[in-house]
Amino acid sequence: MKRKIFAALLTGTMLIAGLSTTVFADGEKTFVYGTTGYSEEMGDAGLNPHDNYSGWSALRYGVGETLFKYNDNMEVEPWLATDYEFVDDTTVKITLRDGVKFSSGRTMDAEAVKECLEDLIAVHDRAPYDLKIDHIEADDLTLTIYTTEPCPAIINYLGDPYGAIIDMDYGIQGEGGSANVAGTGPYIAEKVTPTQIDLVKNEDYWGGEVNVDKVTVKSFADGSALTAALQTGDIQGTYGLQYDNYSLFDGNPDYTINSCATSRCFFGQFNMDSEIVQDQNVRKAIEMGIDKEGFCSVIMEGRGIPAKGAFPSSFTYGNDAVETVSYDPEEAKKLL
């Protein structure tokens, strides 16, 4: 069935509510984080970036890093790489950062990255289609990737979480939701299960001193249990509370709430196979009949932003750059 997206209803907000870290008598800092976004059902349990969507967990919890990353304006910038050059349409030469080590102790060089990417495209479901890699050459800190066809977005795809660089000599310790890896990030996973990750800071992290000594990530099956754990202090921070639970923490000096507009959207689609919907006036009237402001203020309790498109205003091609019709029921009636 053919559908046409007609409007993003709102841009979701990403919110974090939390207490400070715990500091013990010996000066050790610990932090317990709760989430409903880590589970086998979500496809991101375990830390093996070459398995399903677990690369998101590898990056989120500080174990892995990619060659490139996205800044707040969704622009690609180097991370484990320092530079790149397209030699021709099917060849890209990437310069790697010097002085980076995996948590296993192995130095990250082009050969190690080559081994990682070769395993990725051998076992992952999406990466081979995205990256279109034919073969890779490694020389000290220079990685040269040859593609089967022009792939101008390869640098972008190397910033996807599945591209987290891990030490294949260390291998994948455990399976599925218990898989552990040796990455280059600020944290080392001591224990991984489908419901909890125990992390300790990487003393040899290339990016400098890591401020928190131990982090525990706990998975919750539902938002109510997550909220209760935050209220009792069983966890000290979280992401993605249910919208109707934020009022429990607003104004409480023990909690800090941070938010920003993201590209998470509620949106609707037109069924263009319908003869009625093929009428432009019908589609325009439907758009005019949707109260986005009311949806955001009432249903989302002020935690959403009415959107004209799929991206927030912080992007040059985001919300402010898009024109759309306003909420106008009376005009909608005239069109019908």
Q: Which helix (H) or strand (E) holds 123?
A: helix 110-123
- The pLDDT tens digits for 296-315 are 888 888 888 888 888 888 77
3 band by pLDDT with thresholds 50, 70 and 90: very low
The whole-angstrom separation of Cα 254 and Cα 183 is 34
Mean pLDDT of 216-232: 94
Work out the percent of the chain whose per-residue pLDDT is above 90. Answer: 71
Q: Which of 330, 249, 247, 231 is nearest to 288 (CA)?
A: 330
Domains detected in the chain:
3-14+220-335 (no CATH), 46-185 (3.40.190.10)
- CB under 8 Å, gap of 24 or more: what pairs does 187-192 form? 187/61, 187/62, 187/63, 187/215, 188/63, 188/103, 189/47, 189/61, 189/63, 192/46, 192/47
pLDDT at 329: 95
Q: What is the pTM of this model?
A: 0.84
Which residues make Cβ contacts (< 8 Å) with residue 26, sequence separation at least 6? none
pLDDT at 226: 94
pLDDT at 275: 95
Q: Which of 32, 33, 43 is nearest to 177 (CA)?
A: 43
Q: Are 316 and 73 in contact (CB under 8 A)?
A: yes
Half-sphere exposure of 37 (CA within 13 A, CB side): 15
- The one-letter code for the residue type at 140 is D
Q: 140: exposed, middle or buried (C-beta count within 10 Å: 0-12, 13-18, 19+)?
A: exposed
pLDDT at 11: 35
